[in-house]
Amino acid sequence: MDRDKFRKEVEAGLEGKSRAQLVAFAVRSAMRVLPLLAVQTGANSSFRGRREAFGFWQREDKNAYLLSLLRVYSVSVWGVSVISFVGSSNVAAYAAARDAAYAAYAAARDAVDAVDAAYADADDAAYAAARAARAADAAARAADAAARAADAARAAARAAYAAAYAAADADAAAAAAHAIIAKEIKTDLDLIGQLTAMQFLQAPLWSSPPPEEWQRWLSDFKADALSLDVGFEVWLDWYEERLQGQPIDADLLEQWANIPEEVESQGVAAINAYLKNLVAKSATQPLNRVRAIFIGYGEAGKTSLIRALHNEPVLEGREEMTAGIDIRNWQIPDTEIKVHFWDFGGQVMAHATHQFFLRSSCLYVLVLNARSEINSTEQAEYWLQHVKSFGEKAPVMIVGNKVDQASVNLDMAYLQRKYPTIVGFYPLSCTQAQNGYKTKFASFKEDFCEQLRKVGTHQMLFTQEQFAVLQDLLPYQEASAFLNKQRFAGICQRHGIGEDGVQNREWLLDILDKLGMVIHFPQLACLDEYILNPRWLTHGVYTLMYHRKPRLTEKNVVDILRDKPIYDEQGNKLDYPGDKCRFIMDAMHEFKLAYPLSRDTLMIPELLPSDQPADIPFNVIGRLLFEFVFRGFLPRHVMPELIVRRHEEIVGNVVWQRGVLLKHKTYRAQALIQADYHERVLSVAVQGREAKEYLDLLHDEVVQILARLSGLDVEKRLELPASACLGQPPEPFIPEKVNYQQVLNHIRNGTYTFIGNNNTYNLHKVLGLVVPKAGLAGLAGVTSLYIGKFINGDHNGNNIRQELKNSTVYGSVIAAATVTDCLNTTLPDSKATEEHKQLFEALLTAIQTLNAQISPAEAVPLEKLANRAETLVKASQSIPPDTESFAFSLSGIKATAQTLGKPAEPVRKIADQLAAVLL
C-alpha cells in the first residue's frame, strides 16, 4: 500500500466533516482492528517462549489494559451521541473520553516496550506486540477525537492510519486482510458524508463479509479475552452488536461511562459484573443518597450554613464548636435523593482523622470566615489541598461567610487554575440568609442542589436482591449500632445473595463499607460484628481525640464514652457499652491513629505534647539527612502514622507530636524524624554504621503513607555529607541540601562529580554513604513522582510524582546524553540519504531543545523519546533499512510527544515528516 497516498486520501475525505462524524469514523477504524490483539506470528508462534493471551503485556496489567481499550470504544460512541448537546452530559463525555485516551495510550506504550524487548531477543513476537501497540494506538486516537475538539480531524485521521498499519504488520498470509481493512476505511470515507454520525456508527462494521483471516483473529481474540476469566463476555457481546450494526443504547453507554468509584476500586472483574447487570436491566435501584461534606476552620460557620439550609434561625455567636463530625439529613427539593450533611470539626487537631471519612463521590463545601486573621486565599488553599489529596476530583463550592462584617478577598483566577474542581465562590452571611443576603443565599442553594444532583447521577445502582438487603438493614440500624455477621449472612441468603460469584456477600459488604453504610475491618478476624451505624464509630473516635489525653486505658475509654451520650441523625441514642469499646480501640489502631502500649492501653501520637524534648540522645555529627519537602501542605496524618507504624522502635519516651527518635532492632542505626508544619518539611536524620539501610527502609515507609494521596507535590532533598567533598572539606563546612533526583540522574548518567553551591562532591562517596546497594537499582529507576490512584489490573496501584525545584538540570540528563551520543556517534554511521539524515538530525535537535524547556518531572517521557529516536537512527544503519523499526519507533515518538502536549509539537511534526518518507 502506498502509505503517503493513503494518508492524503484519508485527510481529504475527512475535510469539512463534523466533530461527531470524525469521532464515529475514528472509533469504527479502531474497532475494526481490535482482533489483532490476538494475532501471533507464524503457526506455532509464542511470546517469550510460549503462546500466551495478550503476552505483550505484563500479567498484572492485562485485565486493566484490555478493559481500557474496550472502554475507549464505548465512551467514544457515547460521546458521539452527546456532542450535539450542551450541558453536563457533554462535559462528562469529554472528560470520560480524555481519561479513556490516557489509559489506552498506557496500554499502547507498554506494548511498544514489549516490542523493544522482543527485538532485543530477536524474537518474532515483536510483530505481534507491534500489532497490539498499533491497535491500542488506534483506540487512543479515537478517544482523542472525542476529547479534543480542536484536533478531532487529526486524531480521527491518525486512528485510521494506526488501524491500517496494524494490519500491515501481519504475516504474509494476512496481506489480503490488510488490504481489505484499508479498503473498508476508504468505504467509510464515502459513507460518512451520506449518514448522520449515529447512523454511521450503527452501520455494520464491514460492508461485505470480513476475510477469513480476520474472522480467525476474532475467534482467537474472543478465546483470549475469555481466558482471563474476569467477565469480558459483556464486552464481546457489545462488540458483536457493533459488528452487526445493531441499534446503540446511548443511555446504557452513559451508565457505562459513569461507573461509581466504589465499583471502580474493586477491579476489572467487579466492573464487568456491574456492566453486565446494567445490560440485563437488573441493576435499576439507586441508593438515592449523596454526601455533602462541609469543611473549613473552626468558627467559619459550617454549622450555621447547614442550619440555614434547613430554614432554621441562625444567631451570631450561638453555635457551639463542632467536635468531630456532626451528621444531618436533608432532601434535595423535588427529588427522591437524600443528602447526608457531614459537618467536620475545624480544629487543627482533628485534621489527621479527616482522611478516613473524606471521599471523592461527594460534594465539598468549603466555608471561609471573612473575619479570620488568616489570608482568605491561604485559608482556601489549605483545605483545597485536603480535597485534592483525599477527595481527588470531587467538586468544591467555596462559601465566604460573615461578609456582612468583613469582605472575603480571594484570588479566584489563581485558585481555579490550580484547583479546577472549584464550582464557584459564594459570599454570604448565614445570619442574614433570610434577610439582607436572601437573594445570594437562594442563588447558592440553587447551585448547591444542582451539584448534588450531578453527584447523584454517578451513584450506585443495585439489583432488586441487593437493594432488598439494604432495606432490611434499616430496622437493625435504628435498634443497634452493631450487626452480627451471622445475621447479615442470613439476610443475604434470604434475598439470594450467595457466597460464590463476583457479586457475592463479600462484594456487597465491601460496597456498603465504601458507601459508608456499614463499617467492617477484614483484618480484625476476631470481631464477630459489623458496625451498622458509622456514626457510632466516628463519634467514638472523635470523642476520644477531643478528650486530649494521649494515653488511654480501656477503662479510660469506657468512662469517657459512657459520659458522652449522642444521638444520630435519626434521633437514635448511641450507647457505648463496655464490651464494645474495645472495638474503637482496635479501629484506632487499624486507622493508624494510635499504637498499643499494652493489651489495654493506647498511645495517640497526635495528642502528645507539641514541644520537642530537651537533650535528645542523637549525635548530629556524621548523620545522613533526607527531607521530604511538601509544596502546598504537609498532611497532618503523615507524622502520627509514621510513629504508629514504627512504634516498636521508639527509643525510651523520646516521642512528641511532631517527632520521634527510633532505633532499629537489627540495623545498627538510629533515626530522628521531625515534621515542620510551618516550613512543610518532613526530615529523616539517620546515624550509625548501617544508617543507609535504615534510611532506605524509612524512605519507603514514608512513600507508602503518601501513596494513598493524590495530587501532592513533593520534592526529596539530600544533605551532601562533608566526607563526600573532593579534597579537604572547607572550614567551617556549610552543609548543602540538593535535589535527590538530581543526584540520582548524575549517577545513572555515569557522572560522579557534583558541583554544589559551596563545594564539589564525589558521588561515588555519596553512593556508598547514602544509597544501599540493594536499593540503588530501584531508586535509580524512579525519575518522577506524582501521587495519584489508578486501577492496575485487579489491584490498586499508585503513581508518584516528584516536582523538582531549584535544579540546575532541566528535563533528563539521561535523555540529553542519549541524544548527544546519537548525534555524535550513531547518526554519522547512518546509511540513510542526506535528506533523511537532515530529518534525523532535526528530530534529535528538537528533542534536545524540548529537554531544555520542561521540568525534570517529565524525565520518563523524555527518555522514551530519546530512546525511540536512537532506535530510529540505528535502524537506518542497515542495508536495506529496518522499516519495521522505523514504524515502531515513529509510533512511540508520536504517542509520547502527544502526551507531552504543545511543547513537543515540533518533535511530533518532524516525526510525521519522517513517517511520510520512511514508511
232 located within any domain: yes
Residues 718 and 680 reside in one and the same domain? yes
DSSP state of 573: E
pLDDT at residue 648, rounded to an integer: 95
Report how far residue 157's alpha carbon sits from residue 169's, in angstroms, rounded to the nearest whole number. 19
174 class by beta-carbon count within 10 Å (0-12 exposed, 13-18 middle, 19+ buried): buried
pLDDT at 396 exceeding the cut of 90? yes
Least confident of 179-183, 589-593, 850-854: 850-854
Query: Grid coordinates representing 683?
Result: 526530615
Which is more confident, 87 or 55? 55
Give the model's confidence band at 866: pLDDT under 50 very low, under 70 low, under 90 confident, else very high: confident
Instruction: In whole angstroms, give the CA distance from residue 216 to residue 222.
Output: 10
Identify the pLDDT of residue 358.
61
32-64 pLDDT, tens per residue?
Answer: 888 888 865 433 344 444 467 888 788 888 898
As a whole number, mean pLDDT of residues 583-606 equals: 88
Contact 325, 357 (CB under 8 A): yes
Between 656 and 598, residue with greater pLDDT? 656
Query: CA angle 175-178-181, nearest 5°?
Result: 155
Domain total in the chain: 5
pLDDT for res 465: 94
Q: Out of 392, 425, 456, pick the residue that ends a domain.
A: 456
Picking from 403-407, 764-768, 872-876, which range would have the lowest pLDDT averaged per residue?
Answer: 764-768
Please give the average per-residue pLDDT across 273-289, as a whole number.
90
Q: How many helices (H) and strands (E) does the chain have?
A: 34, 26
The angle subtended at Cα 616 by Cα 611 and Cα 618, nearest 5°, is 135
State the DSSP H helix or E strand holding residue 425, giving kind and residue range, or none if neither: strand 422-427
Same domain, 333 and 357: yes
Q: What is the CATH number of the domain that holds 639?
A: 3.30.310.200
Sorting pLDDT into bands at 50, 70 and 90, what band is 525?
low
- Residue 165: the pLDDT is 64
DSSP three-state, residue 722: helix
Instruction: Tell whether the torsion through CA atoms of 128, 134, 135 and 140 is positive or negative.
Output: positive
Residue spans of alpha helices (H) in 781-833: 813-821
Last residue of a domain, one of 411, 441, 456: 456
* Nearest-angstrom CA–CA distance, 308 and 367: 13
- The answer to pTM > 0.95 is no
Is residue 485 in some structural domain? Answer: yes
State the pLDDT at residue 296.
86
Q: Are residues 451 and 477 in the same domain?
A: no
Question: 642-679: per-residue pLDDT in tens?
Answer: 999 999 999 999 999 999 999 999 999 999 999 999 89
Q: Between 496 and 106, where is the model more confident?
A: 496
Looking at mean pLDDT, say which of 6-10, 351-355, 595-599, 668-672 comes out highest.
668-672
Same domain, 668 and 762: yes
The pLDDT value given to residue 41: 44
Owning domain of residue 866: 815-918
Contact 372, 297 (CB under 8 A): yes
As a whole number of Å, the end-to-end CA separation of the chain is: 10
Please indicate whether residue 616 or residue 787 has the higher confidence score (pLDDT): 616
Share of the chain above pLDDT 70, in %: 77
Q: In this predicted structure, what is the pLDDT of residue 354?
A: 55
Band of residue 730 on the pLDDT scale cut at 50, 70, 90: confident
Measured in degrees and rounded to the nearest 5, phi and psi for residue 350 equal -85, -10
- pLDDT at res. 864: 78
Structure confidence at residue 404 (pLDDT) = 84
Please indicate, yes or no, whether residues 443 and 468 belong to a single structural domain of this protein: no
What does DSSP say about strands 659-663 and 650-656: parallel, antiparallel, or unpaired?
antiparallel
Those residues whose C-beta lies under 8 Å from the C-beta of residue 704, and which sit 6 or more positions away, are none
Q: Is residue 121 part of a domain?
A: yes
Tell me, what's the pLDDT at 92?
A: 56
Mean pLDDT of 291-318: 85
Res 202: pLDDT? 93
- Say yes or no: 546 and 640 in one domain: no
For 58, residues 6+ apart whose C-beta sits below 8 A from its C-beta are: 110
451 and 466 part of one domain: no
Higher pLDDT, 574 or 206: 206
Determine, yes or no, domain membership for 466: yes
CATH number at residue 300: 3.40.50.300
Check whether residue 233 and residue 343 sit in a common domain. no
Tell whether 573 and 632 lie within a shared domain. no
Helix axes 505-514, 485-494, angle to 10 degrees: 110
Residue 691 pLDDT > 70, yes or no?
A: yes
Mean pLDDT on 750-754: 82
The mean pLDDT value for 480-502 works out to 89
SS3 breakdown of the chain: % helix, strand, coil, rounded to 5? 50, 15, 35
Side-chain-side CA neighbours of 361 within 13 Å: the count stands at 20
Q: Which pLDDT score is estimated for 798?
A: 32
Domain boundary among 594, 616, 646: 594
pLDDT given for residue 489 in this prediction: 92
pLDDT of residue 389 exceeding 80, the answer is no
pLDDT at 118 over 90: no
pLDDT at 47: 42
CB 617 within 8 A of CB 687: no
Considering only 228-232, 335-339, 442-446, which range has the smallest mean pLDDT? 335-339
764 pLDDT exceeds 50? yes
Report the pLDDT value the prediction gives residue 85, as an integer from 0 to 100: 41
What is the spatial distance between Cα 510 and Cα 277, in angstroms, rounded to a whole number?
A: 18
Same structural domain, 78 and 163: yes
Q: Is residue 536 part of a domain?
A: yes
Q: Which residue has the higher pLDDT, 899 or 30?
A: 30
pLDDT, mean over the chain: 79
Residue 119 is predicted with a pLDDT of 40
Choose from 425-439, 562-576, 765-779 the range with maximum mean pLDDT: 425-439
Under the banding of pLDDT at 50, 70 and 90, the label for residue 107 is low
**Do 577 and 637 reside in the same domain of the chain?**
no
Q: Is pLDDT of 446 > 90?
A: yes
Does residue 334 or residue 141 have the better pLDDT?
A: 334
* The three grid cell numbers given for residue 307, joined into one nine-digit string: 442550619
Q: What percent of the chain has pLDDT over 90?
A: 24
The answer to the question of residue 393 being in a domain is yes
Angstrom distance (rounded) from CA 104 to CA 98? 10
* pLDDT at residue number 627: 95
Looking at 198-202, 535-539, 748-752, which range is the least confident one?
Answer: 748-752
pLDDT at res. 104: 59
- Between 62-82 and 125-147, two packed helices, what is the crossing angle to 10 degrees? 30
Residue 506 lies in a domain: yes
342, 347, 385: which is closest to 365 by C-alpha? 342
62 and 190 share one domain: yes
* Structural domain includes residue 589: yes
Say whether pLDDT at 157 is over 70.
yes
